[in-house]
Amino acid sequence: MAELKVTAIREGTVIDHIPAGKGLKVIEILRLNRPNGGVLLLASNVHSGKLGRKDIVKIEGKFLSEEEVNKIALIAPTATVNIVRDYKVAEKFKVEIPDEITGILRCANPNCVSNHEYTVSKFYVVSREPLKVRCHYCERTMEEEEILRNL
């Protein structure tokens, strides 16, 4: 079988089926580019049956919070999260963009109240493809590029 072999991990998380080229952004928003002791693997532009090409991120010793999974969904809506325990995939799920996004995204409008008060940001997902959200406070809409810059 012509398949690229990337080292298996013992315990941790494998984020698979990331759109090609988005793996680094996933690492960036999870703040994994800081030394934290765990092994981090990125496979970029790997062959995939479903996507043509994909990225894979493997993080030894880390399990994701719901907030982190939601961030990944915004960057890589096709991603699959695999929880690995004792070298086996113990759990597998697809990420999903929620209907409402709270706390993880900054509003791009500098005058928005959510950028000035102790307010938790809140957005409504207007469209998933292409990605578009609307701020609950100032009604500004943000599209993919702006969303990625404000995560």
Residues within the annotated binding site for Zn(2+)? 107, 112, 135, 138
Residue from the set 13, 70, 80, 114 that interacts with ligand CTP by CB under 6 A: 80
40 forms part of the interface with ligand CTP (CB under 6 A): no
In degrees to the nearest 10, what's the CA dihedral of 28, 30, 33, 36? 180
Residue from the set 14, 40, 72, 131 that interacts with ligand CTP by CB under 6 A: 14
Q: Helices then strands (H, E): number in the chain?
A: 3, 9
Query: Do 149 and 142 meet the contact criterion of CB atoms below 8 Å apart?
Result: no
62 forms part of the interface with ligand CTP (CB under 6 A): no
Phi, psi (deg, nearest 5) at residue 17: 55, 35
Residue from the set 33, 47, 89, 91 that interacts with ligand CTP by CB under 6 A: 89
Query: Judged by CB, which is closer to ligand CTP: 55, or 68?
Result: 55
Q: What is the torsional sign of CA 145, 131, 22, 31?
A: positive
87 forms part of the interface with ligand CTP (CB under 6 A): yes
Taking the C-alpha atoms of residue 70 and residue 133, their distance in angstroms, rounded to an integer, is 14
State the minimum distance, in angstroms, from the CB of residue 6 to ligand CTP.
Answer: 6
State the minimum distance, in angstroms, from the CB of residue 15 to ligand CTP.
Answer: 9
